[in-house]
Copies of this chain bind each other. A is one copy, B any other.
Amino acid sequence: MKLTRFTDNALRCLIYLGQNPGRVVTVGEVSRRMLMSEDHLLKVVRRLVELGLVRTVRGRRGGVQLLRSAEDIVIADVVRATEDNLAIVPCFSPGDNCPLSPTCELAGAFEKALAAFFGVLEKQTLADLLKPELSRG
């Protein structure tokens, strides 16, 4: 049970940008510092742009920058928007054909557990993930 690499990298990209507030950071820098391939990072950045969380700046001094303040970026929202599959058990999926489904509360139990998981992340913003001594930037 783990997050996809995509979600993990999206979070780490946001954290790196949050640690460098106001600065336009090149994709090359994030890629080098976060040990991510540039190709993968570009896909991540594209998704973060779609979500309205970062903006890209073109040109020689171009790069990526947070578009919202770290306090306004809720971690639960990022995870929900970047995880491609939150069907933690197959019976969450509409097409699942488990014969137990009509007589089983497995899905209900895991729905509650997942709600509790996201309940914690609803209360966490990007600002909470930046350690105070460095988030002052």
17 contacting pairs across A/B (C-beta < 8 A): A1-B3, A2-B88, A2-B90, A3-B88, A3-B89, A12-B98, A12-B106, A15-B104, A34-B98, A103-B130, A106-B129, A109-B128, A112-B120, A113-B117, A115-B120, A116-B119, A117-B117
Nearest B-chain residue to A92, judged by Cβ: B2
Nearest B-chain residue to A122, judged by Cβ: B113
Total chain A interface residues with beta-carbon distance under 8 A: 49
Partner of A100, one of B2, B15, B105: B15
Measured between beta carbons, the chain B residues less than 8 angstroms from A25 are: none
Q: Which residue numbers of A lie inside 8 Å of B, CB to CB?
A: 1-4, 7-8, 11-12, 15-16, 19, 33-35, 75, 83, 85-90, 97-100, 102-106, 109, 112-121, 124, 128-131, 133-134
A97 vs chain B, min Cβ distance (A): 7
Most buried by B among A97, A104, A121: A104
Partner of A88, one of B1, B12, B85, B104: B1
